[in-house]
A and B are shown apart, each in its own frame.
Chain A
Amino acid sequence: MIKKIVLMGNPNVGKSVVFSRLTGANVIASNYPGTTVDFSKGKMRIKGKPIEIIDAPGTYSLQPTNKAEEVAFKMLKEADMVINVVDATNLERNLYLTLELLEKNIPVIVVLNLWDETRHLGIHIDEKKLEKLLGVPVVPTIALTGEGINTLVTRIKEARTNEEIKPTSEEGRWIEIGSIINKVEQVEHRHHNIRDIISDLTIKPITGIPISFGIIFCAFWLVRLIGENLITYIFDPIFNELYHPLIIRLSEWIGPGFIHKLLIGEFGVEINFIESLGLLTTGLYIPFAAVLPYIISFYFTLSFLEDSGYLPRLATLVDNVFHRLGMHGHGIIPMFLGLGCNVPGALSTRTLESRKQRFISATLLAICVPCMAQLAMVFGVLGRYGLYYIGLVFLTLAILYIVIGLILNKFVKGESPEIFLEIPSYRRPSLKATFKKTWMRIRWFLREAIPYLFLGVLVINFLYFIGVLQWFGNAVQPVMVGLFGLPGDASIALITGFLRKDIAVGMLVSLNMAPLQLVIAVTMLTVYFPCVATFAVLIKELGIRDMLKSAAIMMGVAVIVGFLLRIILLGI
């Protein structure tokens, strides 16, 4: 009896879209290899019986070359049937994994996805003949529109093994594939079209490098434009016009006391959504009004970059730099995802091949890449003094990324294999898919962030209440003032940053620092330690030992950078 079906296939062939279609559960799909780095489980019913479906990372063969592929291999061992998703535009290469799977004597059904693309490319595949030759069902699909998915569902029960395919050598498989391709595939000659021209322009260095600067600049500009407009015209009015009067009335109704302090803030002090530190004031304002608009704008913009297929080209262009930092071009992916939230960024380091690459990539991510929640607050706090101050923070972090990368590359032992990355063809991002993906990520943000934010507000209030924070602030005051030119209470924000960096930035506001002091504090807040959610993922990804080393580097760097910035920006 079939209970567990795993989706296996080369990277970027549409497994995750097929998974979403089959289960109704949504997972992230993007146009670059290595989107899925972990498994997701979903359920579907066939003839009333529940069946578990697993979406796995893509793999080119059953010999894993990185951690993501290892996950796929492990999922295969657990499953009792395989839906082998195949890129119909690249049949020859994809069939290698198909043959390997068929040799395993596990029931297989083959899905010829991206069927729409074969037409544009002048590729003709005789799927009936392919079915005969492979001895298992073959179903053409266009996962993006859902075409063929019903046929797939009805034919799942026909999945079977092919006893005639015996384990053979690598050469044996290629000979077999050659003969299959000869019989089932015909390719028309095709002229260069506009898509090929854009592809060439964006990957050749002379044109590609200027274009990449243009695209990144536009992306940042768009994120800020959308974010600021959402705040000014939607979120701030809601909080200031509608919510504020309600809170004032609530405040009068509750009256002074601990409950008021916890829910709203100090009684009698004017309510300030960022500084009051109540659950219903700061606890709601930060996630919904300050951060959410930027989460929306960031993920909306990122979706375009992901779905168009631009990221692998960018990885090619920056490979040179990243190679010197001990990684390779694919390291740009953890960095981009990390700008949204460090957690998915840390997970995506799995697509890097060696321990050294993963260590460097994860450490640099934790030190130099602020997440959007933190950035949104920084824009809010420093933005009012001018872009110059935000620029200083970014410049410092960029320099750190390079300098620490160069140093780590020198001292971390191990190999750093070269880039070897498939460049998918460009696709026009669909607005519907973009909105859906943005919505998935917003939901994820709210689910992850709000509990920690509330916890943060509760813990801070409690610690203030019993006086621990005041004591700590006083205790480290000499260090903070002496080394970094910051007030002692800035240390409290740093501690809070372990729970959520966005509240931590908010707490810095109430200290009435000069803009340059804020620059130092915000930079240190980014560098010194990741938030608890990222910390947990990093322990899992790197292991305790490496994580301890990484943490030591973070704190060392924070002290050095804080001190240097103090000297440069504030003078002795």
Chain B
Amino acid sequence: MNKKTIPLTHLSLRGEAKIIELVGGRGFQRRLRVMGVREGQKIKVVSKQPFHGPLTVAINGCQMTLGRGMAQRIIVEEL
């Protein structure tokens, strides 16, 4: 069964998802991965700042804030 994948920005608050793909150059992918944003990890959105502000996400008990543009390029599958 193939569930539909969405960019992280579309994930609702409190919803949980699995990271499927990081869309971008090698440098972009590496930067995300070394901070814990990796394919296969479970991710939750903790908050979204208004007016296209950044998202705060939780992965593995660790939180980080990332810009909308970056979040757009993180493809997840809702769980």
Q: A residues within 8 Å of B by Cβ?
A: 60-61, 63, 65, 89-90, 92-93, 96-97, 121, 170, 174, 187, 199-200, 203-205, 208, 312, 315-317, 319-320, 323, 328-329, 417-423
Distance A320 CA – B47 CA, assembled complex (angstroms): 14
Residues B66 and A60 in contact, CB atoms below 8 Å apart: no
Interface string of B53-78 (1 = CB under 8 A from A): 11010001111111111100000000
Question: Across the two chains, which residue of chain B brings its CB closest to A187?
Answer: B61
The answer to whether A170 and B67 touch (CB under 8 A), given A93-B62, A419-B54, is no
Distance A90 CA – B35 CA, assembled complex (angstroms): 10
Residues B66 and A419 in contact, CB atoms below 8 Å apart: yes
The answer to whether A421 and B65 touch (CB under 8 A), given A65-B31, A320-B52, is yes
Distance A262 CA – B23 CA, assembled complex (angstroms): 68
Chain A's nearest CB lies how many Å from the CB of B50?
6
Residues of chain B at interface, number, CB under 8 A: 30
Pick the residue among A174, A203, A204, A316 that contacts B33 (CB under 8 A): A174
Distance A90 CA – B53 CA, assembled complex (angstroms): 26
Residues of B contacting A93 in the complex (Cβ-Cβ under 8 angstroms): 34-36, 60, 62
Residues A203 and B34 in contact, CB atoms below 8 Å apart: no
Interface residues of B in 1-53 (CB under 8 A from A): 27, 30-36, 38, 46-53
Residues of A contacting B53 in the complex (Cβ-Cβ under 8 angstroms): 205, 319-320, 323
The answer to whether A319 and B34 touch (CB under 8 A), given A418-B54, A423-B56, is no
Q: Summarize A's interface: helix, strand, loop or mixed.
A: helix
Residues B49 and A317 in contact, CB atoms below 8 Å apart: yes
Residues A170 and B54 in contact, CB atoms below 8 Å apart: no
Distance A150 CA – B25 CA, assembled complex (angstroms): 45
6 A-B residue pairs with Cβ-Cβ distance under 8 Å, sorted by A, are A93-B35, A170-B30, A174-B38, A320-B50, A323-B53, A423-B64
Q: Summarize B's interface: helix, strand, loop or mixed.
A: mixed
Distance A96 CA – B52 CA, assembled complex (angstroms): 32
Residues B64 and A422 in contact, CB atoms below 8 Å apart: yes
Distance A356 CA – B5 CA, assembled complex (angstroms): 35
Distance A61 CA – B26 CA, assembled complex (angstroms): 14
Q: B residues within 8 Å of A by Cβ?
A: 27, 30-36, 38, 46-54, 56, 60-70
Residues B50 and A316 in contact, CB atoms below 8 Å apart: no
Chain A's nearest CB lies how many Å from the CB of B42?
12
Distance A92 CA – B61 CA, assembled complex (angstroms): 11
Pick the residue among A60, A319, A422 that contacts B62 (CB under 8 A): A422
Residues A319 and B30 in contact, CB atoms below 8 Å apart: no
The answer to whether A203 and B46 touch (CB under 8 A), given A312-B65, A419-B65, A423-B56, is yes
Distance A200 CA – B48 CA, assembled complex (angstroms): 11
Residues of B contacting A420 in the complex (Cβ-Cβ under 8 angstroms): 31-32, 35, 64-67, 70
Specify which of A63, A417, A420 lies most central, judged by the most chain B CB atoms within 10 Å of its CB: A420
Residues of A contacting B67 in the complex (Cβ-Cβ under 8 angstroms): 319, 323, 328, 417-420
Residues B46 and A61 in contact, CB atoms below 8 Å apart: no
Distance A203 CA – B63 CA, assembled complex (angstroms): 11
Distance A120 CA – B29 CA, assembled complex (angstroms): 32
The answer to whether A320 and B51 touch (CB under 8 A), given A203-B46, A418-B68, A423-B65, is yes
Residues of B contacting A208 in the complex (Cβ-Cβ under 8 angstroms): 47
Distance A205 CA – B63 CA, assembled complex (angstroms): 16
Question: Across the two chains, which residue of chain A brings its CB closest to B64?
Answer: A422
Specify which of A90, A93, A170, A422 lies most central, judged by the most chain B CB atoms within 10 Å of its CB: A93
